[in-house]
Amino acid sequence: MKRLENRVAIVTGGTAGIGEATALRFAREGAQVVVWARNEARGKEMEKKAAAEGLAITFDKVDTSDFEAVTAAAKRVADKFGKIDILINNAGMYPAMLVTDVTEKHFDRVIAVNLKGTFFVTQAVVNQSMIPNNYGRIVNISSCDGKTPASGVAIYGAAKAGVISLTKSFALELADYDINSNCVAPGWVESEAVLSGDRWKTYLPQIPSRRLGKLSEIAESCVFLCNDKVSYINGEILDVNGAIIMD
């Protein structure tokens, strides 16, 4: 039996990078996956790709920083499939900007996508399905920058540190409902966003594993944390970073 057979999972930011890899991995493990993202063209293309492989993936255009949109989208999933078992809070943005150059618009958008979205998506999903059904597995995607911020990503790092804190608060408050909340904190990975620039080349020599992480390694970490065989893991921050941070 596949590890996630008969589970319904939402993956936010699921049309590229870590999100896409995770959505596909979950579907291959038997889950019915609903991808939330803003890029409709990529979402529809992903549906076609999944269908060709016989995978159960559907796309819904959702801006996870929009409270009303998220609330409505969570209801659509619960109404259609009867439940939401798994939530992967992956939606995020990683714009580099020095502290001296940060604008209010930049600040608000980074916080809205990376932190506000994570909170209100979780709230909507647990209220709509996980609490009533007394079951849920939540994995939030943070970053090594949430532990040790790098130059140029002060706001992103602060938001991802907030994601780590939210993960622990979710674990504490929701455990009575058999809802687990854990976090994966990736380091530098082979995502489209990372490889589109040169910043990773500066940090590569600092990574003891001497390579970038694979998207599949992050996806597999999420599957692991959603496996009921390890359900005693709750409130954990799982570092997947090639040993650039060890704590």
Q: Is 177 among the catalytic positions?
A: no
* 212 to 3, 203, 220, 241: CA distances (angstroms): 27, 10, 16, 8
List the one residue out of 37, 41, 46, 24 whose CA is nearest residue 215: 24
Residue linked to tokens 């609903």: 34
**Beta carbons of 180 and 229 less than 8 angstroms apart:** no
Q: Which of 94, 135, 156, 177 is catalytic?
A: 156
Phi, psi at 231, each rounded to 5°: -70, -10
The distance from CA 245 to its chain's CA centroid, rounded to whole angstroms, is: 20
* 228 to 86, 185, 223: CA distances (angstroms): 11, 21, 10
Point out the residues that are catalytic. 156
